[in-house]
Amino acid sequence: MTRIEGLTTVEEHQAASRSRFYQALERAFSFPQVTFYQAVRAGQFWRELLESGAGLPYKLALEERSDLGPAGASVSYEEFQAEYIRLFDVGVGRPPCPLYGGVHLGGRKKVLEETVRFYNYFHLHRSQPSSELPDHITVELEFMHFLVFKEVAALHGGRDRTSYLRAQRDFLERHLSRWVPRACRSLERQQPHPFFLALMSLTEEFLTRDLGHVRALLTGPSPFG
């Protein structure tokens, strides 16, 4: 997806900020590469959140999460990566805080099937065999980024955005907004590095606010039954 230039209306700018915020969170939950660690250490990631957050149609408590700035990279890159692995990747049986929605919701096969049904409805398919499973938080956040980006394109082109709003509402209600709060509670019990705690807490707040925003914009039947 390319950037849409020449946005003019308040609705276009707000939706664009929402799309960028989803994209920033998706990047933050990916396995940390050195380039992301350096962006955190330099304050680039924090500025990105502040910039996108300023354009949202609701207020987030970003000022309370300064650990997402340079302070969040006060440890070495190796320590930063090791903490991600400890929290999200390894453990006896499973990691302390899995980033897979189906693990938190139960009935994972059904969850996987439903997420794939959402993606296929919009003709989206896994790009490569090694990519994350459909219920991983990065895949679900990327899908929301896609839906909101398509909403921006519809607004900019003078087309109806309703189908994208309905999909956003349904996906948040059935997936991200259901399981991320549970993951946040699991993470809190692990005494995590402040960066990851602030990231999960911000994500929970953002999803709650965003779902409320979409619900306020939209009423109508779901295309997903």
Nearby residues of 146 by Cβ (< 8 Å), 6 or more positions away:
1, 122, 124
Domain 10-217 has CATH 2.20.25.10: no
Residue 87 corresponds to which amino acid?
L
Nearby residues of 65 by Cβ (< 8 Å), 6 or more positions away:
198, 201, 202
Cβ atoms 25, 203 nearer than 8 A:
yes
Cβ atoms 19, 148 nearer than 8 A:
yes
**Beta partners for 136?**
100
CA distances from 117 to 9, 19, 192, 217, 224 (A): 33, 21, 34, 24, 9
**Beta partners for 100?**
136
To the nearest 10°, report the CA torsion of 35, 38, 40, 42.
Answer: -140
pLDDT at site 156: 95
Return the SS3 of 59: coil
Positive or negative CA dihedral for 70, 196, 151, 2? Answer: positive
pLDDT at site 104: 96
Q: What is the pTM of this model?
A: 0.93
pLDDT at site 225: 47
**pLDDT digits (tens), the chain, 225 positions:** 667 788 889 999 999 999 999 999 999 999 999 999 999 999 999 999 999 999 999 999 999 999 999 999 999 999 999 999 999 998 656 899 999 999 999 999 999 999 999 999 999 976 655 478 999 999 999 999 999 999 999 999 999 999 999 999 999 999 999 999 999 999 999 999 999 999 999 999 999 999 999 999 987 555 554
Return the SS3 of 136: strand
pLDDT at site 29: 98
